[in-house]
A and B are shown apart, each in its own frame.
Chain A
């Protein structure tokens, strides 16, 4: 008893072939789209790699690029088969390749599922990498004369301006770090000396933030220095002032940016699985409909198409026995051996 049989006459077969050809080309476009999304994600990770200590994992974008290319190839092949399916001569060429092709499509669906899941699971890794990376970025902000770190200041300033954030968790992270290099501090000044000595690690700490934390939407000119000292500024209360500098931390800002990107890509990949399954089902119907034509010379005859030749349980049973015999193929047959030894 075939699984989900459908009767096909000539017109239905032609329509199925044409519709399937269109869907395959749509799948090729989706494959190209996934490829370009992979490239876009890779570029974005590269752009922000300084914020992540150059430690970020490029597994997901590389997988996406691979999956995109594979999808293009597989679906283009499927489209060619559909295009040739209505011509019996050309179709005979493709017939022997169909079974391995469908197996490959199954495998590809599995790969798509894995990629989709990774898009969601790798977000945790991105979060942890960001936390560590930003901490180090803030620490090395002042080292504009150290080779390899000269542009950390520029990158961090640009990130804080672009993502409208300040510091790692919030702006107070800047109070714990010396972000002004010693070359711009007048060590002969008493105030500077006091501040440096008051600290265990001899760091010049202050309650100020860099200018990139400033919020342009604030009605008053930006207050960067002496942030916690209300009396240093006229009509200023640091506990209720919310518009002066950005209150969000950069880890949260960057993470929400990457997380939304990865989630949408993950959803698209999972949607592609559905599209690919529809492709496979359509191709199976078309090939079985063409194979079961009673009179191959008469294109007008009716035929039947199905998804599986036997029912689902029977097909699985067959598969399992096949796999068992594959495993047993190396084992010596004991009965035959004994007989040989006897003669």
Chain B
């Protein structure tokens, strides 16, 4: 009982081979698309690497790049095989390779599926990485004179302007750190000294934010200093004022951005996976129908093509037995307590040649 038996005439087989050849070349293109999607994701992650703490998130783009390259190679080989399958003579060249190729590609498509699913699972690790990275970046915002951190201020400012966000969770994060360097604070001034002393760690904290938090949609000029002090500004109520500063936190903004990219990439990879699977099914049909044609002997005759020769259960059982016997080939036969010398009566009939051959003339013994 074959799974999904289909009859193939010669013309049908040839057409199938040609269509599969074109589809395989199309799959090479989709493999290249996978590769470039991996590269794109890697570049985007690298652009924001200063905002991410050391976490192993680069395995997703690396996996996509590797899968893309392997897909190109496999489909290139598949295209070559299908091109040769139109001619039954050339098929003989590929006959032995085709079944292993199909099995290998079938397991490879699982890798493609895993790649697609990884895109969706990366979100949790990314969030943690961004949380830590942004906290660090904001802490070192003022250290523009420390080698290795001079450009962190510029990077954070540009990030807040470009992604239209402020702080880690919100703008209040800036109230908890000192983001003005001591070199620009007049330590002799009374107000400055008071503020430093009022704090346990001697930090100059204030309810002000950097200019990059300002929202360009605000109808009034940006209020950056004394944000929580309503009386410091005319006609200002900080609890109801929403357009003055950016309300979104940068962690959320970056997370949304990357999640959007990865969802699109994940969807594309899923579609590519389905496409690869369908091409593989076509190649399997082609392989079985050509093998049956060879068995029948006449290259122009009709033949059957199928997915599996027997039903799923039987095929699974046969394969399991093959795997078991592979494992058992080293084991000793346990039947007679392992002693090979015990005489086991033979149940087969001994064959000593045909019955009615006349005896040869015995030579005269001298």
Enumerate chain A interface residues (CB-CB to B < 8 A).
Answer: 144-145, 150, 153-154, 157-158, 161, 179-181, 183-186, 189, 210-212, 214, 216-222, 224, 233-235
Contacts and interface: CB of A to CB of B under 8 A. Distances in A.
Contacts of A210: 221-222
B221 A154 contact: no
Q: Which 6 A-B pairs have the closest CB atoms?
A: A216-B157, A219-B144, A144-B219, A186-B234, A234-B186, A157-B216
B211 A224 contact: yes
B222 A184 contact: no
A112 to B, nearest CB: 36
Q: How large is the interface on B (under 10, 10 to 19, 20 to 34, 35 or more residues)?
A: 20 to 34
Contact of A158 (B158, B216, B233): B216
B221 A216 contact: no
Interface of B: 144-145, 150, 153-154, 157-158, 161, 179-181, 183-186, 189, 210-212, 214, 216-217, 219-222, 224, 233-235
Nearest to A156: B216
Contact of B183 (A189, A222, A235): A235
A261 to B, nearest CB: 23
Contacts of B224: 211
Given A184-B221, A185-B234, A234-B189, 11 more contacts: A157-B216, A161-B161, A181-B219, A183-B220, A183-B235, A184-B233, A211-B224, A212-B216, A216-B212, A219-B144, A220-B181
A154 B217 contact: yes
B34 to A, nearest CB: 28
B212 A184 contact: no
A220 B221 contact: no
A180 B221 contact: yes
Contacts of B234: 184-186, 189
Q: What is the interface of chain A mostly: helix, strand, loop, or mixed?
A: loop
B342 to A, nearest CB: 86
A217 B150 CA distance: 10
Contacts of A189: 234
B219 A145 contact: yes
A189 B179 CA distance: 31
A92 B144 CA distance: 78
Contact of B220 (A184, A186, A224): A184
A46 B72 CA distance: 43
B219 A221 contact: no
B236 to A, nearest CB: 8
B154 A153 contact: no
A212 B224 CA distance: 13
Contact of A222 (B186, B211, B220): B211
A217 B212 CA distance: 12
A192 to B, nearest CB: 9
A140 to B, nearest CB: 13
A214 B153 CA distance: 13
A211 B145 CA distance: 23
A167 to B, nearest CB: 15
Contacts of A186: 234-235
Q: Which of B157, B219, B222 has the most CB of A within 10 A?
A: B219
Nearest to B223: A184
27 contacts: A145-B219, A150-B219, A154-B217, A158-B216, A161-B161, A179-B221, A181-B220, A184-B221, A184-B234, A184-B235, A186-B234, A211-B214, A211-B222, A211-B224, A212-B216, A214-B212, A216-B154, A216-B157, A219-B145, A220-B144, A220-B181, A220-B183, A220-B184, A221-B184, A222-B210, A234-B185, A235-B183
Contacts of A216: 153-154, 157-158, 161, 212
Contacts of B150: 219
Contacts of B161: 161, 216
Contacts of A221: 179-180, 184, 210-211
A185 B235 CA distance: 8
A154 B211 contact: no
B222 A235 contact: no
Nearest to B212: A216
B194 to A, nearest CB: 16
Given A161-B161, A216-B161, A234-B185, A211 B211 contact: yes
Contact of A235 (B157, B184, B219): B184
B225 to A, nearest CB: 9
A322 B231 CA distance: 88
Contacts of B184: 220-221, 233-235
Contacts of B217: 154
A210 B214 CA distance: 10
A300 B185 CA distance: 92
A327 B153 CA distance: 76
Nearest to A180: B221
A147 B217 CA distance: 15
Contacts of B216: 153-154, 157-158, 161, 212
Contacts of A157: 216
